[in-house]
Amino acid sequence: MKKRVILVHGWEGDPQSHWFPWLTNELNNRDFDVISPVMPNSEVSNFDEWISALMEVTPVLNEETYFVGHSIGCLAIIHFLQKNNKKIGGAVFVAGYFDLTDVVIGREREVTEPWLQLPINFEMVRATSNKFITILSDNDEDVPLDITKEKFEKKLHAKVIVEHNKGHFTEGDGVTELPSVLESILEISQL
């Protein structure tokens, strides 16, 4: 069975945003089946709609299934894994966060607050895989490095990679390729 990677973009993103096209091409060249859905209403990021969309594109979860998320897409993956409670190969989280202390005020807070009020059973999420990697930047204005790094390490037992000067890993930050994501997927999939 072919290894599958599901890419979950962030708020106001899409499969053509930032480094997603580059990663899709790199993974396709390595014989992965890549699924990169357009998440519904990405300007609002409705929890139920996003989880339903992930259910539609991943009717079968197994240890040949991997996830890559960006920003709020990381929360979507975490809640999806908790809800499904099935074994997967692993997940890579880029610029993800867990609570409002990690999010600036204003519109971003409005969009993320409903997601962040949902409880996460980290033991249940960890039971889906022991291969979690998170990639953070030392100058991300939306996701404070020290707080987020500690939470991913303690709550998900994730390996943490810190990139220098990548902001929130967006095109606006000059990030259209992200080799550490590709390397992380290859590492957890043992290719």
pLDDT at 114 (0 to 100)? 67
State the pairing for strand pair 132-137/90-94.
parallel
Confidence of residue 191 (pLDDT cuts 50, 70, 90): low
Torsion of CA 90, 94, 77, 54, to 10 degrees: -100
Q: Please state, rounded to an integer, the average pLDDT across all residues of the chain.
A: 89
Please indicate, yes or no, whether the overall pTM of this predicted structure exceeds 0.85: yes
Give residue 53's domain range. Answer: 4-189
CA nearest neighbour of 187 among 131, 149, 134: 131
Counted domains in the chain: 1
Looking at per-residue confidence, does 91 or 44 come out higher? 91
Q: Where are the alpha helices (DSSP H) in the chain?
A: 20-29, 47-57, 72-84, 107-116, 122-126, 145-156, 179-189
Q: What is the CATH number of the domain that holds 89?
A: 3.40.50.1820
Average pLDDT over residues 133-158: 93
3 state SS of 191: coil
CB-CB neighbours of 59 under 10 Å? 6
Asked whether the beta carbons of 61 and 85 are under 8 A apart, the reply is no
Task: Flag whether pLDDT at 41 surpasses 70.
Answer: yes
